[in-house]
Amino acid sequence: MRIATYTRISTDEDHQPYSLDAQADRLGNYVASQDGWELVRRFTDQASGATTERPGLKRALAEAKAGRFDLLLVYRVDRFARSVRGLAQLLEELDGVGVAFRSATEPFDTTTPAGRMMVQMLGVFAEFERATIVDRVIAGMERKASRGGWCGGSRPFGYASDPATGFLVPVEGEAPLVPLIFDRYAHSREGARSVATWLNEAGHRTRAGRPWSHTAVLTLLRNPVYIGQVYFRGTFHPAPHEHLVDGELFSQVQALLTERGENYSKRASATSEYLLAGLIVCERCGKHFVGSSAMGNRYRYRYYTCFTRQRYGVAHCDAERLPAEEMDDAVLRALRTTYERSDLIERAVHGARDRAEGQRARHEQELAFTDTETAKAEEAIERYLWAFEAGTLSEAQCGARLAKLGAKITDLRSRREDLLLAMDQASAEVPSDAELSTVRAHIDDALANGATPARKALLQALVHEVRVQSREEVVPWFRVRSDASVKVRALGGLAPPAGLEPATHGLGNRRSIL
């Protein structure tokens, strides 16, 4: 009888009561003790028994269908499968191709109904044992997290897990960068992309050894681990590890993330009655204006107030408050006037074309490099998968590397999309008179009849930003929307250099702006 053996472990051999070598030796001895048995094939896996998607098991089933052995031998049933459903499915596949199944330590004859029943019972116990182990592990990890221990997973940048205590400890080469990143974002008024560029130009890399992206910076800025908290199963727990950022700076960054629309967890609740929320920029301190209000004797007055002034007082920024109704109306009127000037829009589109054309060579070179790096990463993933399927690399050995390569490909593809978008500016078309007329009709309708959500959506789509030096110096920048997005600024001759477009009388006395 031709015999094939199957062995499996789910973690590293140092902590396994039945290692691969031990299982293989005992199965080999068992085969040698049986008359007429010949060991012809060996299959092995280093993966969880909860799933049947295992390379070694798949090869065993494929060779069973090819008739290359007559009996599949395992050391214990739980080495073969850890779920009743999976075990039943595997036994059915083997039975369908005429291959017997046997456990060396649990000798039941699966060719008889009684033997199959006993094997099924062993599968029930194996599934129960696995579920019990999972519950105990989770309970232990919850207790560890409640004491502030790190429960595994991708470690945060700047920290490593101390194997002796289970707590996080600062990493010498990474920890000093964390407060600098928070400081640049909060106090130097740099965005996530700017911070990532600074890190890359300085030669710094992420924990995985890749260049910094704006998403990696945002992930770091949102992580409360830097103020002494660890996360496990939906709960944050206080931890005794060293804080890399003080609580006040962390709170300031979270407020700024929300203000800039980069705090995704709060973005859904960020709607408000303020049409220009997130669009008005203070020229004095670089922060955005936020909606605020004050109650008079009979009425509620709405304003746009600089975030710095609102948060820290006029000692840090003395930018004037802007009456919200007049500001909204002025920007809407300026927007309509801008879209009436087809010559202005044509000049803006041609300017965008010229800039894109001037950078085309650099973009094409970077695009070629991006495609080459993507192809290399995909080829590397294919090699790892072949090695894994061939059994020369374990899941533990290649899993982490595959995750890194996958993340690299994601970053490269994102950068490729950015480059293609930038290159498309070279072919941007000037909107037709009909398209401009449609936009003006939408603006007119929003001015006359639009509810707050509709008017806000219009402004968020067509206004790039509104830069404010004072009530008398307000300059909006608009977008031309015809697939391409091109910024248009109020130019000399259209409006006074220090005013809204069209000409304004200022916002000082809260008069209408005409």
Distance CA 61, CA 188 (A): 61
Overall residue count recorded for the chain in this entry: 514
DSSP symbols for 299-349: -EEEEEEEHHHHHH-TTT--PPPEEHHHHHHHHHHHHHHHHH-HHHHHHHH
SS3 content of the chain, % helix, strand, coil (to 5): 50, 15, 35
3-state secondary structure string, 251-300? HHHHHHHHHCCCCHHHHCCCCCCCCCCCCEEECCCCCEEEEEEEECCCCE
Distance CA 121, CA 69 (A): 26
10 belongs to the catalytic site: yes
b/e code 350-388 from CB counts within 10 Å (16+ = b): eebbeebeebeeebeebbeebeebbeebeebbeebeeeb
Counting beta carbons within 10 angstroms of the beta carbon of residue 58, is it exposed (0 to 12), middle (13 to 18) or buried (19 or more)?
Answer: middle
- Kindly tell me the sign of the dihedral angle through the C-alpha atoms of 119, 120, 121, 125: positive
Helix (H, G, I), strand (E, B) or coil at 488: strand
Distance CA 16, CA 504 (A): 78
From the list 8, 15, 94, the residue with the least C-alpha distance to 51 is 8
Pairing of the two strands 168-170 and 159-161: antiparallel
From the list 331, 309, 330, 327, the residue with the least C-alpha distance to 318 is 309
Q: Which amino acid is at 452?
A: T
Catalytic-labelled residue, pool 10, 19, 48, 414: 10
Distance CA 16, CA 18 (A): 5
> 117: part of which helix (H) or strand (E)?
helix 113-146
Distance CA 19, CA 375 (A): 38
Q: Give me the half-sphere count of Cα atoms (radius 13 Å) on the Cβ side of residue 391.
A: 15
- φ, ψ for residue 205, nearest 5 deg: -130, 160
Q: Residues near 65 by Cβ (< 8 Å), separated by ≥ 6?
A: 97
DSSP symbols for 198-215: HHHHTT---TTSPPP-HH
Distance CA 3, CA 393 (A): 25
Active site amino acids: 10
